[in-house]
Structure 1
């Protein structure tokens, strides 16, 4: 259940934030909200604006990724709160950006930080990877004992 709750909350927060940015903020407009610098960028590529113009292809990759995660969950080999949380963030982030890529051919990015401009789905993906690494380390430590 935790997996679904996290994934749905990530998708809802991501899509709502992108809708608000697209509706109320002009492209390249920079502003500060609650101490965070934000802007409005449309990115048809991937991280770091690499491979511009392949947004829909990355949308298909997101669909395949989500199918892969559901397959892994179905096998039942990976269990527990940590992996459910990781997969929830990963699937929520993949669907959040995948929806944009399939509908618009690009994603809306707006959170300025060192290394680029991201969105909530990107941050959810980072959190999912971080939790997946922790899960891997904990699993390895359990096997070593």
Structure 2
């Protein structure tokens, strides 16, 4: 249940934030939010991370849908299990779904989180994907520690 709740919450919050940005800002507009660390800067990305491969938004949606299907398949087979993996896969699937929705509906994603440290412009789905990757690493480390401790 943790997996489904996490994925649903991540997707919902991501979509709500993107709708709010699209309805309250103009493309290119930037507003300091947590100065000097974070600005809300409305950007539309038709490619992938760092605007690579522009114009292929719908193709990347297909990859996201295939990723989500793969996670659901392996969860059903019982190969993805444990609280940490449920949580990490929930973040990854929620992030993938959030960006896939944008790509399917608009052919591009709405980005708006611009960290002034110069790491590009992200959205909450991107942040969730990063959190999911970190949690996969945490899960792997915990698994190794448990295995080593029981030997």
Where on the TM-score scale, by shorter chain, does this alignment land: which range?
over 0.9
- Distance in 1, matches of 2:128 and 2:80, equals 20
Question: Out of 58, 61, 65, which is 1:59 matched to?
Answer: 61
| 1:138 match | 142
- Report the alpha carbon displacement of residue 69 of structure 1 after superposing the two structures with TM: 0.5
Q: TM-score, normalised by structure 1?
A: 0.95
Q: TM-score, normalised by structure 2?
A: 0.92
- Distance in 2, matches of 1:77 and 1:115, equals 34
- Report the alpha carbon displacement of residue 123 of structure 1 after superposing the two structures with TM: 0.3
| 1:86 match | 88
- Report the alpha carbon displacement of residue 115 of structure 1 after superposing the two structures with TM: 1.2
What SS class does the counterpart of residue 47 from structure 2 fall into? coil
Unaligned runs of 5+ in 2: none
Unaligned runs of 5+ in 1: none
RMSD over aligned CA atoms reads 1.1
| 1:122 match | 126
Aligned positions, number: 145
1:5-44 mapped onto 2 (5 Å cutoff): 5-35=5-35, 36-44=38-46
- Distance in 1, matches of 2:32 and 2:128, equals 21
- Report the alpha carbon displacement of residue 140 of structure 1 after superposing the two structures with TM: 2.4
Moved runs in structure 1, 4+ residues, more than 4 A? none
| Per-residue Cα deviation, 1:59-88 (whole angstroms, up to 9, x for no partner) | 000000000110111121232110000010
